Amino acid sequence: MSVSKDPERGTYYVQCRYRDWTGEPKKKTKRGFKTEKEARKWEYEFLKRMEGAPTMLFSELYEVYAEDTKMRLRQTTRETKANMIESKILPFLGHKRLNEITALDILNWENELMAMRTSNGIEYSQTYLHSICNQLSAMLNHAVRYYGLDSNPMVKVGKIGSKQAEEMSFWTKEEYLHFSREIMDKPQSFIAFELLYWCGLRLGEMLALTPADFDFKNKRLSVTKSYQRMHREDVITAPKTPKSVRTIVMPSFLVDEVIDFMKCIPDLRDFDRLVPATKSFLHHEMDRGSKAAGVKRIRIHDLRHSHVSLLIELGYSALAIADRLGHESTEVTMRYAHLFPNKQEDMADDLEIQRGTGMSVLDATKPMKQ
């Protein structure tokens, strides 16, 4: 441990060694302190924080939490979490010490969240509120596991919002076909929405597709990556979950459409993006096509729901659908339960047949013949 003065800048800096939450030795350097006193104060608080003291400020917990989880999360996930924490949590709880945050503090914070509005004066969605609460709860649980906090005060209060969206929008096959006819004038738009609807892809998965992902002979499409636009740069990442890496069998007409589309692109290479469009462009095309077709405007992600709805209507099981979507079957069952036909009456009728009619309750109580 040492505090030294930088002769060139005239400021002080700290160099200290510590062990992170896994027990691995680390070295930390912090520069830019105007006085030696400021540097030593920062060093003391940093080392106490690394020891797992629950007296650290919540804002300090955020720093170590971000570092601890950095290698476990995709970049897009990290940035989404950071945006929620920095804009919706730190302004209210950042100045408090961990062991001083009470259930009442959480309750008041949640009330503040529910009173917030977007720049357009619209309430935050129930799913967004629930996601923000998840971020705070995850941080407090992390502090319980690794930094000496006795308990998570959110457990007493509970989370506001809802894990699932209030309603699920989707198009019928007929509505989608009306829409697709209206966007045929732009081949890039047409093929993008064809892949989204008939394969049930996520938008990022579709935008990351390259010619190398297609096996036209066997009608296979490999989903191995996802596209994001971050900080004005194109970023290709792993799919959302390990289950999302999958192979999809395409209908023959879609194979022909993709082949025809590729023939129209000069100098297309195996690892070029097939649809080098932006998300905003496709949102605009959704607006244009929906209006022209006279169908309700749904979100692009709702095309994935529409694909599931069609498969359920065709009689496929939750397990088969989950395999195509890159979901767990339980997730499909819970999310789309209201779309599956209710088979209870049929089950009861079949059980009635299996039971037979020649046995009474009294018969059931008689000893079985040896």
369 pLDDT tier (thresholds 50, 70, 90): very low
What integer pLDDT is reported at residue 167 of this predicted model? 65
pLDDT at residue 358 tops 70: no
367 pLDDT tier (thresholds 50, 70, 90): low
Q: How far apart are CA 122 and CA 124, in angstroms?
A: 6
pLDDT at residue 110 tops 90: yes
User: Please, which residues have CB within 8 angstroms of residue 90's CB and are 6 or more apart in sequence?
Assistant: 58, 59, 62
Rg for the chain, CA atoms, rounded: 28
| pTM flag (> 0.75) | no
What integer pLDDT is reported at residue 329 of this predicted model? 74
Range name among 126-130, 146-150, 261-265, 294-298 with the lowest pLDDT average? 146-150
What integer pLDDT is reported at residue 305 of this predicted model? 93
The neighbouring-strand residues paired with 17 are: 27
Is residue 199 within 8 A of residue 303, CB to CB? The reply is: no
Q: Nearest to residue 197, comparing CAs of 134, 257, 240? A: 257
Per residue in 41-85, pLDDT (tens digit) is 888 777 766 666 788 889 988 988 998 888 888 888 888 899 999
Is residue 325 within 8 A of residue 333, CB to CB? The reply is: no
- Cα dihedral 193, 194, 197, 200 sign: negative
pLDDT at residue 368 tops 50: no
How high does pLDDT run on average in the chain? 88
**Interval 9-27 mean pLDDT:** 80
Q: How far apart are CA 185 and CA 150, in angstroms?
A: 62
